[in-house]
Amino acid sequence: MAFATDIHSVNASASVTLLGLLKSATNRVANYRVYRKTVNELSALSARELADLGLNRSMIKRIALEAVYDL
């Protein structure tokens, strides 16, 4: 009887773990999309427009990472 209870709790734990993995993957994909959108939008700006913002082209990836991942 105790063995059946252990099996049940393992299945519940596995479904919780699977749900956590799915949520984590969804969050990672959403963060990556925001990162790519930020990089694309900043890359589309001219050097003059970037300079007006106090940026240069070499800073774009770092700025996008900071915006999305709070580095």
Residue 29 lies in domain: 2-69
Give the model confidence (pLDDT) of 19-40 as tens digits.
899 999 999 999 999 999 999 9
- Strand ranges in 5-66 using DSSP code E only, listed in sequence order: none
pTM of the full structure: 0.72
Q: CA triplet 26, 27, 33: central angle to 5 degrees?
A: 90
Give the model confidence (pLDDT) of 1-20 as tens digits.
555 555 555 555 767 788 89
Backbone angles phi, psi at 21, to 5 degrees: -65, -40
Domain count, the chain: 1
Name the maximum alpha-carbon separation found in the chain: 73
Give the model confidence (pLDDT) of 36-67 as tens digits.
999 999 999 999 999 999 999 999 999 999 99
Return the sign of the alpha-carbon dihedral for residues 43, 47, 49, 50: positive
